[in-house]
């Protein structure tokens, strides 16, 4: 039987004003946890916070700025005294193939999808080390495992980089700090504004068959927090076989 007590948990969620982040904030609230919600849009952020039914703190912040990320932690500590889990969820897409990528495209994808999460990890892990426990969760993408959408090439590359940083952090902490868990989350297509908000335009994610709702993905992430999973989490269990099959096929093709 699980001894996990949601009522004692304080969870930071970035990108919390919409999509997966908003749904996750509500899922945590339903379970009795406290939520620190961070995003750039003040009005939407406050509306999501009000809908959680939980103890909350909101921080209008741009997570591509290290000082803003530090301010998220400071707000959490001032409001609740500690942080138990930190979810690096904010990110952004791009529609452009490899040969058309510009310097600005790559810089933007790294800034929005890699450095934003890196700042989160570097900011909160010292706090976790002091407490000897904690949980970092980085929301990547299936495109960070299988680059099967070449029109998202820059985004795929950035999410691959995020996966690598996540795995490296996990290895760095495993021996000395085994109670600091590090998880990489791999959603597939999610019915949010992601596609519409992608740089250079793109297909509305809600029109792609076989996707999931943000609520479904949020439940998976909440489950990973509760189980204190330290590893990879896929929003659909069958996705693991897809990944294994992809790399097996690459090996067989040599």
What strand order describes the sheet that includes 10-14?
A: 56-60, 34-39, 10-14, 85-88, 134-139, 180-186, 232-234
If you count DSSP H runs as helices and E runs as strands, how many of each does the chain have, helices first? 9, 7
Backbone conformation region of residue 248, classed left if phi is above 0, alpha if psi is from -120 to 50, else beta:
alpha
Residue 43 CB burial class (10 angstroms; 0-12, 13-18, ≥19) = exposed
Q: Name the β-bridge partners of 135.
A: 85, 181
Could you give the angle at the alpha carbon of 90 between the alpha carbons of 14 and 238, nearest 5°? 110
d(CA 251, CA 93): 29
Backbone conformation region of residue 210, classed left if phi is above 0, alpha if psi is from -120 to 50, else beta:
left
Q: Catalytic residue at 155?
A: yes
Task: Please state the three-class secondary structure of 114-161 as a single string.
Answer: HHHHHHHHHHHHHHHHHHCCEEEEEECCHHHCCCCCCCEHHHHHHHHH
Q: Which of 155, 186, 191, 234 is catalytic?
A: 155
A 10 A CB-CB count for 231 gives 12
Write out the catalytic residue numbers. Answer: 155
């Amino acid at each position: 039987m699980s001894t996990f007590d949601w009522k004692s948990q304080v969870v930071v969620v970035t990108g919390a004003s919409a999509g997966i982040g908003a749904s996750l904030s509500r899922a945590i609230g339903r379970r009795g946890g406290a939520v620190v919600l961070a995003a750039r849009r003040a009005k939407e952020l406050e509306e999501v916070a009000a809908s959680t039914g939980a103890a909350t703190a909101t921080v209008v912040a741009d997570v591509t700025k290290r000082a803003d990320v530090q301010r998220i932690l400071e707000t959490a500590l001032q409001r609740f005294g500690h942080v138990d889990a930190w979810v690096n969820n904010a990110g952004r897409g791009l529609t452009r193939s490899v040969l058309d990528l510009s310097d600005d495209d790559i810089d933007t994808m790294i800034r929005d999808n890699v450095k934003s999460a890196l700042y989160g990890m570097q900011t909160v892990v010292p706090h976790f080390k002091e407490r000897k426990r904690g949980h970092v969760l980085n929301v990547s993408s299936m495109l960070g495992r299988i680059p099967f959408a070449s029109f998202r090439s820059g985004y795929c590359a950035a999410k691959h980089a995020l996966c690598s940083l996540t795995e490296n952090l996990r290895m760095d902490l495993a021996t000395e700090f085994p109670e600091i868990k590090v998880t990489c989350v791999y959603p597939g297509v999610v019915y949010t504004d992601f596609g519409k908000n992608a740089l250079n335009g793109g297909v509305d994610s809600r029109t792609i068959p076989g996707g999931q709702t943000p609520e479904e993905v949020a439940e998976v992430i909440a489950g990973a927090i509760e189980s204190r999973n330290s590893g990879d989490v896929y929003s659909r269990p069958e996705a693991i076989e897809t990944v294994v099959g992809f790399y097996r096929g690459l090996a067989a093709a040599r």
